[in-house]
Amino acid sequence: MDAPTLIARRIARELRGGMLVNLGIGIPTAVANFVPAGMHVFFQSENGLIGTGAVPEPARALPFLTDAAGRPVTALPGACAFDSAMSFTLIRGGHLDMTVLGGLEVDQAGRLANWMVPGKLIPGMGGAMDLATGAKRVVVGMQHTAKGRSKVVKRLSLPITTSRPIDLLVTELAVIAFPNARATLWETAPGVTIEQVLAATDAELVVPEQVPQMSV
């Protein structure tokens, strides 16, 4: 299983029936492919839709039914459409049960940087700051390292997205939670040892006595 698929499958296990969930671009988008059979989850697209369905055949695409990247999607029975003020009322107002975001860096207190690289990439924050600030639960899915450098760091080198810490980090090596604002090894990926996680992690990681293996 490749890293993005493993991460998406593990995050899908955080879903519960009836939740309102927003999925970011990239690895998080794939989480929708692994909803447990029989479970109904409301997926929100911040451009104004709850009940986002699969990508349509090109001939069936509607120009006014798109995801947050502007790509054609479908709407499931029971879907609803709304304007951007309502969309962010849901996101910031404590109505969004979970947001799944990509990350550039997460520090050992659970602080997230995911919206810009100074001097290189300034795409704008879009809805990321509102999502990471307002969702009841913030889950980040990202690769553990980039170009051999740990993305799970002692101190952020990139601009922070929100002062509110994330709740759960899922990488291809580990699941990390942040009780008492301390990065704590929750699970290791199949075939990965605690030592391998520690070696790939710049942050100080609390290792409990029992660390179960990630179940996907």
Q: Annotated catalytic sites, by residue?
A: 46
Contacts to other proteins from residues 157-176, by CB under 8 A: 159-164
Question: Taking CB under 8 A as the rule, does residue 58 contact other proteins?
Answer: no
Whichever of 125 and 205 has its CB closer to other proteins, that residue is: 125
Question: Taking CB under 8 A as the rule, does residue 137 contact other proteins?
Answer: no
Question: Taking CB under 8 A as the rule, does residue 77 contact other proteins?
Answer: no
Q: Say if residues 171 and 202 touch (Cβ distance below 8 Å).
A: no
Which of 55, 69, 146, 181 is the binder for other proteins (CB under 8 A)? 69
Contacts to other proteins from residues 82-111, by CB under 8 A: 82-85, 87-88, 91-92
Burial of 160 (0-12, 13-18, 19+ CB in 10 A): middle
Question: Taking CB under 8 A as the rule, does residue 191 contact other proteins?
Answer: no
Question: Taking CB under 8 A as the rule, does residue 120 contact other proteins?
Answer: no
Which of 3, 75, 206, 216 is the binder for other proteins (CB under 8 A)? 75
Number of residues that bind other proteins (CB under 8 A): 41
Kind of pairing between the strands at 98-101 and 138-141: parallel
What beta strand segments (E) does 42-180 contain? Answer: 42-45, 49-52, 75-81, 98-101, 105-107, 112-113, 138-141, 145-146, 149-150, 152-153, 168-170, 174-177
Question: Taking CB under 8 A as the rule, does residue 61 contact other proteins?
Answer: no
Q: Say if residues 23 and 50 touch (Cβ distance below 8 Å).
A: no
Q: What is the DSSP letter of 117?
A: B
CA distances, 180 to each of 166, 202, 206 (Å): 12, 19, 11
Residues in touch with other proteins (CB under 8 A): 45-49, 62-66, 68-70, 75, 81-85, 87-88, 91-92, 121-130, 133-134, 159-164
